[in-house]
Structure 1
Amino acid sequence: MRPMSDMGKRIWVVAVAVLLLAAGLPALGLGLNESKPGIWGTVTDTDGKPLRGIVITLAASTAADDPMRMKTSKKGKFAVPRVEFLKDGYIIGIDSDEYFIRHFRFKVRRANGAIWQDLDSDLYPQNQDKLPILEYRGGNAQIEFVLQKYEDFKAEEARDAARQAAEAAKAAELAKKRERGRMTPLDLAEEALGLGDYATAAKKFELAIEADPDNAELRFRLARTLARGGDTAGALRAANKALAIDPQLAGARLSMARWMDEMGQLGSATGLLEKELELDPGNPDVLSTLVSAYEAAGDKEKADQTLERWVSSAPEDPRALMALAASKVRNNDFDAASELYERVAALDPENAHKMFYNAGVSAVRKQGAITKEDRERAVAAFTKAIEVKPDYAKAHLMLGDALVGLGKLAEAKKHYQKFLELAPDDPQAAKVQAILSAFP
């Protein structure tokens, strides 16, 4: 056996560090980077999108004067780098007729880095005054506000009220039937489903089927109930019986394929999905699942053909474009992949970075061994995510990991360092510092 070169040893050491730390082993003797002093915050909506121009107010908790006011940046950020230490703390909030604070987090450190205050909670329109005092202690304070529009919250309340009313009416109807001794097995199944008792619901569906054995829809409801209760094999048997009665039963074969995927048998579901596609030729869920099934079966040619068909039928579906881009990366056609990434970014510019990030994660967190090609796909996707959103800390971290796997330590180091710069208080920060300590 040939001795390992010095560079090979370094790559091996760093790779082992990445693997061990990713597994959750503690990093000894290493702390988080010191954060910049002052108050630093981010403001997003409930979908995670940064909110620009939101007025942030800050005042001493005991002051009668008007508060300091500032607006969030394009990226939803605000900062007060120089803040006086006040024993009684500060009142921080927003000034908006359109939004209220739906969720907040305060994380305050003393000057020595020790955590002094760490609060994380939801709020509602009626209790905005419950936002706690910010106990700034001369070190660093990280503020996260998630805002929601008052009108959206009212719409949510209306939908919840309508749903609860419908559930109450259904429960009342069942109660009357129970009182009169008229509860049918189907009624009992519905009642059990509402309680999340899938085993009882399945038994009641079976009784209902005894009274109506040729009801394909009823048999398929039994199949779905068995699947929700964890009996995937039973669900497949029940679905097959439903299809024997009604071969045209919409969605049954797609559900079966998904259950087979849970059992690690997606490659055996191609026949089911091909038949489902005959019944519903343009269904993007069927096409996307069939692509995955062909890939699991090792039929690359059919996977590519189906992928092209999916993109042709849904040329503006980001999922289809991302899947095709991943295929191009696998085939080393990086120019074509780059063009597809650009199309995705143009279709949904605010969320493109998340789609690229998810594509990268999918490449390196699949079942089975991770190949060089998987890591190259991940590098391409994470790199694109960072191009769209340069301060995307998680993408820098994952890109660093993927580059280590390819032996590109110098590039990986830059992205690990960028991650620490962007997210010094992230739970992964200490682990990343430990990885960097193993670098040459």
Structure 2
Amino acid sequence: MTRTQRTFLAVAAALAMGVAVAPLHPVLAEGITKVWGVVTDTQGKPLPKVKVNFEAVDVKKKVGPVTTNKDGKFFIAALDISVAKKWKVITDFPGYKTVKVHYEIIDSEKQDRGSGDVILGTKQEFPDLQFALPGDVGRNLVNFVMAKEADFAAAVQAERKKKEGGETTASAGAPSGAQPATPAVAAATPEPPKAGVEGLKKAKELADAGRHVEAIEGYKAYLAKDPTGNPAVYFYLGKSLFETGDDSGAAQAFSKGVELKPDMKWAHFFLGNVHLRQERFKEAAGEFEKEITLQPDFDKVWFQLGKAYVLGGEDDKAIAAFEKANTIDPTKSESYMELAAIYEKRKDKAKAEEMYQKVIAVDPGNAAAVFYNLGVHAWNENKDKEAVQAFQKAIEIDPKYAPAHKELARVLTRLQDFHGAVQHYQEYLKLNPQAPDAKEILDTIALLKG
């Protein structure tokens, strides 16, 4: 077996095992969420070995594939939703097509951010999903029903009849094997948005509940009646447009708010985030700089300014911004990690290690989990060298941290360091001999040894 064949087979096996979850409730980076689901056929039978990809909408970004296990389940532990607000979750299984997508998006406050069923046609147009940060009580659930291509048309017709029947009956029970009932967003068709103070209050309540599409209608109704009397409404409108992924509309709203009220706080901050998402890093930095003139003592503004500088290739300015963020609030680890990444890039190991030690000092009991999640984040971004550094740091802090050994082995496999990968897979099994994926890992080790 050639080296290339070994790499391909081992990476495929590693991907099939999915991404591990850091135990003991690790501190995930801001904007990192988890998504899980099940893929079945029309009879409810689990479909293993289905590839599931996550594709960002309006941004060239793809994560995956992850592969369903023998129970038809898939799981991604660290999806960075800060790079894109909307995602398509796409199944790939030769000889099959997706009939239906069922999704439930519940945030950490138990608010329904979007739930429903979408029946797909022959074009396989998967829905745009806006995932939430679920915390301990929420979820990002995406289930799929698939059918063989020969049976696809009949399966779609059956699902449509089932849906039509459900809409015309008041039955509270679901048939055996059916998807969980979708939480109702409203019992009746919502009333048209009311202009005025009452309508504005209602729109803000809708936005707070994550129902931004309805909130946008309310804000626009208010502004149609009074386009200049309350500049803050443009800010509220911009935030909801930003949440729905309408960057152009959001930028227009924030800009109008600033035009009417030049000292409006946070508008430049959100304009900067719009530019960041559109990869206009110089413009983003300019907006964050304007926000700092209004609010010089908010660490998160300095942090975002540092991010804009880094992405724009201005590392010296980024260092100054991150250091300022740390001066304002030295208890947050994110700025230290950004500084460590800059020093790693400069091959300044001493300064990088100094930053790592500050991360550990901020949260010593959870430091290994912090580095583990940073490694998962880097892996999902296809930044293999950064992932290796993070997983190695997690292991250095806690040599018995089994998940870090496994994930490091996966990255080393992709980098064709087969000897190192085998060592860490073996250490993982030594620490976790009853692991549910033990057989798959043993098979991967055999492939790596060739």
TM-score, structure 1 length as denominator? Answer: 0.56
The 1:208–1:358 alpha-carbon spacing in structure 2 relative to 1, beyond 3 Å, is: same
8 Å Cα contact 1:314/1:320 also seen in 2 = no
Shift of 1:397: 1.6
Give percent identity, aligned residues only.
29
Q: Residue 193 and residue 282 in structure 1: after superposition, are their counterparts in 2 closer, same or farther (change >3 A)?
A: closer
Secondary structure in 1 aligned to 2:364?
Answer: coil
Q: CA RMSD in A?
A: 3.7
Alignment match, 1:432: 441
2:391 to 382, 398, 406: 382
CA distance in 2, matches of 1:332, 1:393: 28
Q: Contact 1:205/1:222 (CA < 8 Å) preserved in 2?
A: yes
Structure 2 residue 361 is matched with structure 1 residue 346: yes
| CA spacing shift, 1:219–1:427, aligned 2, 3 Å | farther
Ranges in structure 2 where 5+ consecutive residues have no aligned partner: 28-69, 72-191
Superposed displacement of residue 425, structure 1: 5.4
Q: Residue in 1 aligned with 2:270?
A: 255
Match of 2:216 in 1: 202
Larger Rg: 1
Q: 1:244 to 1:184 in 2, by over 3 A?
A: same
In structure 2, what is the Cα distance between the partners aligned to 1:268 and 1:278? 16
- Aligned: 1:227 with 2:227: no
> 1:250 Cα deviation (Å)?
1.5
Query: Which runs of 5 or more residues in structure 1 are unaligned?
Result: 1-5, 27-43, 50-113, 116-177
Question: Which residue identity is paired with 1:345?
Answer: I
Q: Distance in 2 between matches of 1:195 and 1:289?
A: 26
The 2-side partners of 1:380 and 1:415 are apart by 14
Relative to structure 1, the CA distance from residue 191 to residue 383 in structure 2 (aligned partners, 3 Å threshold; closer, same or farther) is closer
Q: For residues 322 and 347 of structure 1, what CA distance do their matches in structure 2 show?
A: 12
Distance in 2 of aligned mates of 1:48 and 1:314: 21
Read off the aligned partner of 1:212 and give its amino acid letter: D
Q: Which amino acid aligns with 1:341?
A: Y
The CA distance in 2 between the partners of 1:340 and 1:190, in whole Å, is: 41
1:330 is the counterpart of 2:345: yes
1:412 lines up with 2:421 in the alignment: yes
**Structure 2 CA distance for aligned equivalents of residues 25 and 417 of structure 1:** 15
Instruction: Show the 5 A alignment for 1:14-413.
Output: 14-24=6-16, 47=25, 184-190=198-204, 192-193=206-207, 196-214=210-228, 215-266=230-281, 268-366=283-381, 370=382, 374-413=383-422
Q: TM-score, normalised by structure 2?
A: 0.54
Q: Structure 1 residues 398-407 or 385-394, which shifts more?
A: 398-407
Shift of 1:272: 0.8
Question: What code does the residue aligned with 2:441 have?
Answer: V
Contact conserved, 1:17 with 1:434, CA < 8 A, in 2? no
Contact kept, 8 Å, 1:239 with 1:256, in 2: the verdict is yes
Cα distance change, pair 190–14 in 1 and its aligned pair in 2 (3 A): same
Q: CA deviation at 1:282?
A: 3.3
* Residues 241, 319 of structure 1: alpha-carbon distance in 2 compared, 3 angstrom cutoff: same
In structure 2, what is the equivalent of residue 60 of structure 1?
A: none
